[in-house]
Structure 1
Amino acid sequence: MRCAGLSVIVALLLVAIVALVVMAAAYCRLWLHLAAIRRRIVALPGDGAARTAEGALDEIERQVVQLRPRLLTQHPITALPTREALLARMSADKNGVVGALAFTDFDRLTAIDPVIAERMLAICAARLRQMLPPTRLAAQIDRGHIGMWYGDGDAATAQAELTAIAYALGQEIDSGAGKLTPKVAVRLEPFDAAEARSAGTLLSQLVASFTLPAGAAGAPSTSDDAALARDHYAIEQDLRQAIVQQELSLAFQPLIDAGRQIVCGAEALLRWDHPVRGRISPALFVPVMETAGMAREIGNWALNAATREAGRWRASGLPPLRIAINVSGHQLEEDDLPALVRRTLHHHNVPAEAIELELTESVATTDTEHCRRLFEALRATGIKLAVDDFGTGYSGFSSLRRLAFDKIKIDREFVTDVDRRRDSQAICQSVIALGAGLGIRVLAEGVERYGEYAWLRRNGCHHFQGFYFAPPLTGDAFTAFVRDTDGLRHLLHPATAPLPVHERVCP
């Protein structure tokens, strides 16, 4: 029993030492921890081992007392001054500008692996110290937040410096357990001591301004959630490198014009072949891409790759084809998409009519006035616009008419078993009639059986996409499918009498 008790004491002493080194900022909690250890030692028999343990504890307490001034003014992880130093400088200077850097994924990473999170913070702080001029005060003002003081009050200079620092800190680092790409946000706020708002209040408000929407971060509630969060974070980090590592590719699912009995184009679908995980489902990585702020970068990559493929089709002697490219709502937030499209078309020497941009219904009609201006600029380039997953959002007829789409796609939810379900039949008939009334082409996606195709064809739908015709194909396989006209005619064998030929919709 005595050996067991001493083993416990030795273990507690080791914990105290670790607490001293790693958690030194929690000064009061450290003293409480040491007091609890002393009570355990006093309860032991007064032999030599107990006296040795008590002597070791006396030495630890002595070192804590010596370290106290530094512990209260220096952050234990980043070695930056604490917020008190920044508050003191602000009070002394009276006026200036406070800048703040937030490592926005620090709390989320802490919930997954605290050691790696602290290592990332320490590495970033070391990088920051190398970037700053000697006169610039930087302080740790919160867990994942660093504040900087610009006493000259020049907001433009402060903004330029903060932006450059955030960019540099956002570069990949080696955490010791893998590569990480920190996410860094910046804020800027003027300070005037003559105003009612104190320096402490300003810093608190500045930190609060980085707060993420509910549910975007935080500690998982269960072990399953923790595993999911860890996997999500790993996917996010790997996805940031996927373009550079050339792990992304496009697959091409044929678009069928049944009236003309031809392949009139393809939808470009994003694929990710991970070097360890293998092919990752878009259902898994696309939401990560959207929430992690990578939709614009990867969307632009897809636009360039799809346009390049369209140029190859033309060069190989295929008939005129149109390639449909999915556009994220994040790509519509700025007004530069039309200019990007023009540059991409010019770079690959592809005519505008060979490109069609697809947007989900909810994205296309979120801000109709902004979208209307943007779509007018896109249409001025000569490209076509389509609404994907039609029927799953809340757009009205007026939105479809005002935004002047060229095509709407009936969502697969309504196409599946449409030949057997009366509710789906009513919806599909309504969408087909709506398209005819507005002069918009209608395509049924997700067609997987001949029965679905035949019913839709009899009811006026002329354009199709789905596994009944072909799955998403590689570039070479798609080219072979386009040239296999006999195979397509076999798939399009009419269920009833010959059907009318639809208007020409592909160049």
Structure 2
Amino acid sequence: MAVTDQGVGPPLDAGSPNMHVSDDVSGLRLYQAVARYRLLGYQGKILAAVFLGIHLPLITLALWVALDRTADWSVWLQTLAVALAATLVGTGLTLWVLHHLLRPVTLTSQALRRFRDTRERLSLPVHYTDQVGTLMADTHETLAHLEQALHALEFVDAATGLPNRKRFARELQQRIAQGEVFAVAVVRFSNLSRIAGTMDVERAESAARAVALRLGAMPAFALALSRIGPSKFGCVLLPVAGDATPWASAAARLRAALDACCDEILIGEFAFKPVLQGGLSAYPDDGADAEQLIDAAVHAASLAQAGDPVVQHSAKARQASLEHFRLEQDLRRALEREEFVLHYQPVFDLAAGRAVGAEALLRWQHPERGLLLPGAFIGAAEASGLIEPIGLWVLRQACAQVRDWNGQGLAGLRMAINVSARQFLNPLLKDQVLAAIARCNLSPAQLEIELTETAAMADHAHTHRVFTALRDAGVGISIDDFGTGYASMSYLRKLPFDKLKIDREFVTDVHQTRPSQAICSALIALARGLGLRVLAEGAETASEVNHLAQQGCDLFQGYFFARPVPAADFAQAMAMPVGLAEPARPAGLRVSRRAATGA
């Protein structure tokens, strides 16, 4: 058997370059047998072997010679005493010699243990030429290589050769300990992830190296330039003596340096223009330790935009971001804890003289902040991607409410549901809508999907495809906030939808504001010409309602009629106000049969 890298293996062939290893197998086995006795140390075991192998046979031989020559027991005892004394002297001398001969082994063992436990490298002599001396020299050299390798792993970025975040933080902490005043600059390579996603990580690291070389060549980044993250670099900026606004000046220097580093980078056959954003934090204003300063500068860099590529840290902006983050966390829990509720605002038809539908409006019953309107959380829901599961919950809940109203004798009401731009792009939207209708056993005509004008124009082909599929299934389609976007009239007329909603911006004080009167009149005429119904939202006074009714608008929604209410109060909110003008029916305008019969 032979000792291999994997342990004990099959016998080695004669002439093998590793044949010499097998010569020590018996020695290893003997060592394993002796090593089981832990009462004696390494030196003690050698002394025991010497005593058993040399001194004990010599004592036995001396006693045998003495007993062979005389039968006098006193001579035998004297011989035994002399032999034991000689053995003790020899053993002591052997012990003294072994102590010094094995000292290199002991030092090597201590050095290895110290490096393993504390990363401290002890100095070993390297000038001896025997086997033990070679062991020390090899150990000394190996520990030096290990120390360099571990230092590189712990403190150096492998791709760029720059110090990493841990080394950068140590540099900052040393400056803080010395009482220096300085700023931390962070450069964010914001589109680096695009290279990694579209090409590969190796090319992304190549781009990072190229940017690191450019930054290193700039005087602004000369101090402690480090790579503190996959797409982030950091450095130290010192204030200029006598400068009244040192950090504003530092931001200007950083801005100029970034501008000089944004030329195209060649990555293989592609030319790639890096987008670099900078953030600045100052000690001691923006943090008391290294990690706080780095985090503050990273946050500032994340707020940078194309028009302003360098941002100084702001405590207010940081607090706002933290609040936004907490809001996202609360939103995730809100879905799980069923904290969302729907309120319903009636839609009134003046010609019919009654409420003909409702709009489902989302509310959040926050456990600490109370009832929140969408403006307080929709932005966070869209940014975090939670808008889709929330929108699906609204769809299902609203359909379930229509089912309940049908069972309570309020049949025929049409429920309008707002769909976010992100939810509208979901290829499963049609299936989700039809599944919710089928589960609640509703007529498709009792559901209306509302989409803002801006979202409808984002992807013309997709909008036309989804609108057509939903309308063919019998679902109503409404364009919300009409007049606030930039829809092309030539394209708008090609979309299959049923209703235009005039934004409250034009409805407010329309009876006394000429621009609003002109816009509303044009929108109403446009809707009638396209065979659409038109709804004015946000109506708060009788004057607004009467003015728009005279122009031909017959569907209204707003505080004048009813505020959004919980489902339990909706029947009371359906009461029609009295004393309103009848909606005008301008001659010569075409109204589709479907628009005339639906809400």
Normalised TM-score (structure 2): 0.51
- How far did residue 332 of structure 1 move? 2.2
> What RMSD over aligned residues (CA atoms) do the two structures have, in Å?
3.7
The equivalent residue for 2:541 is 449
- How far did residue 191 of structure 1 move? 7.1
In 2, distance between residues paired with 1:432 and 1:472? 25
- Decide whether the 8 Å contact of 1:261 with 1:492 is kept in 2: no
Note the residue ranges of structure 1 that are not aligned, 5 or more in a row: 1-61, 76-81, 89-141, 148-185
- How far did residue 343 of structure 1 move? 1.1
Query: Does residue 1:73 correspond to 2:159, yes or no?
Result: no
- How far did residue 460 of structure 1 move? 0.7
* Change beyond 3 A, Cα 1:275–1:406: same
* Change beyond 3 A, Cα 1:421–1:498: closer
Secondary structure, counterpart of 2:511 in structure 1: coil
Secondary structure, counterpart of 2:377 in structure 1: helix
- How far did residue 287 of structure 1 move? 1.1
- How far did residue 449 of structure 1 move? 0.6
The equivalent residue for 2:460 is 368
CA deviation profile, 1:310-368 (whole Å, cap 9, x unmatched): 11111111130000000011112232111111111111111111110001100011111
The equivalent residue for 2:415 is 323
In the TM superposition, 1:462-501 aligns within 5 A as 462-482=554-574, 487-488=575-576, 491-495=577-581
The equivalent residue for 2:515 is 423
The equivalent residue for 1:36 is none
In 2, distance between residues paired with 1:415 and 1:386? 18
The equivalent residue for 2:302 is 217
Note the residue ranges of structure 2 that are not aligned, 5 or more in a row: 1-116, 122-146, 162-187, 212-228, 232-271, 279-299, 304-310
The equivalent residue for 1:166 is none
- How far did residue 393 of structure 1 move? 0.2
- How far did residue 243 of structure 1 move? 0.9
Query: Does residue 1:377 correspond to 2:469, yes or no?
Result: yes
1:279 aligned residue (366, 371, 376): 371
Secondary structure, counterpart of 1:253 in structure 2: strand
- Decide whether the 8 Å contact of 2:351 with 2:583 is kept in 1: no
In the TM superposition, 1:83-482 aligns within 5 A as 84=158, 187=197, 197=203, 200-201=206-207, 217-218=302-303, 221-482=313-574
- Decide whether the 8 Å contact of 2:348 with 2:357 is kept in 1: yes
- Decide whether the 8 Å contact of 1:409 with 1:442 is kept in 2: yes
- How far did residue 380 of structure 1 move? 2.2
The amino acid across from 1:73 in the alignment is L
In 2, distance between residues paired with 1:249 and 1:212? 43
Greater CA radius of gyration, 1 or 2?
2
- Decide whether the 8 Å contact of 1:258 with 1:462 is kept in 2: yes
CA deviation profile, 1:464-500 (whole Å, cap 9, x unmatched): 0000000101001112333xxxx41xx14234x7866
* Change beyond 3 A, Cα 1:269–1:217: farther
- Decide whether the 8 Å contact of 1:418 with 1:424 is kept in 2: yes
In 1, distance between residues paired with 2:542 and 2:488? 31
- Decide whether the 8 Å contact of 2:412 with 2:446 is kept in 1: yes
The amino acid across from 2:475 in the alignment is I
Higher RCO by CA contacts (8 Å cutoff, separation 6 or greater): 1
The amino acid across from 1:340 in the alignment is Q
Secondary structure, counterpart of 2:597 in structure 1: coil
The equivalent residue for 1:163 is none
In 2, distance between residues paired with 1:69 and 1:416? 72
- How far did residue 505 of structure 1 move? 3.1
In 1, distance between residues paired with 2:388 and 2:324? 19
Secondary structure, counterpart of 1:244 in structure 2: helix
- Decide whether the 8 Å contact of 2:189 with 2:277 is kept in 1: no
* Change beyond 3 A, Cα 1:199–1:329: closer
CA deviation profile, 1:180-221 (whole Å, cap 9, x unmatched): xxxxxx9586578xxxx5965489999569999999934874
In 2, distance between residues paired with 1:204 and 1:254? 61
In 2, distance between residues paired with 1:494 and 1:468? 11
In 1, distance between residues paired with 2:210 and 2:412? 60
The amino acid across from 1:417 in the alignment is D
In 2, distance between residues paired with 1:216 and 1:267? 41
In 2, distance between residues paired with 1:69 and 1:417? 75
- Decide whether the 8 Å contact of 2:350 with 2:583 is kept in 1: no
The equivalent residue for 1:27 is none
In 2, distance between residues paired with 1:457 and 1:336? 39
CA deviation profile, 1:382-403 (whole Å, cap 9, x unmatched): 1011011001000022222111
CA deviation profile, 1:288-324 (whole Å, cap 9, x unmatched): 1112222211111111111111111111111300000
The number of residues matched between the two structures is 336
- How far did residue 271 of structure 1 move? 0.4
In the TM superposition, 1:3-18 aligns within 5 A as none
- How far did residue 69 of structure 1 move? 5.3
In 2, distance between residues paired with 1:478 and 1:213? 52
- Decide whether the 8 Å contact of 1:375 with 1:403 is kept in 2: yes
In 1, distance between residues paired with 2:439 and 2:276? 39
The amino acid across from 1:289 in the alignment is A
The amino acid across from 1:373 in the alignment is R
The equivalent residue for 1:55 is none
- Decide whether the 8 Å contact of 1:320 with 1:506 is kept in 2: no
In 1, distance between residues paired with 2:545 and 2:509? 10
Normalised TM-score (structure 1): 0.59
- Decide whether the 8 Å contact of 2:348 with 2:556 is kept in 1: yes
* Change beyond 3 A, Cα 1:464–1:69: same
* Change beyond 3 A, Cα 1:425–1:381: same
- How far did residue 433 of structure 1 move? 0.2
In 1, distance between residues paired with 2:361 and 2:301? 27
In 2, distance between residues paired with 1:325 and 1:229? 30
In 2, distance between residues paired with 1:498 and 1:288? 41
In the TM superposition, 1:15-54 aligns within 5 A as none
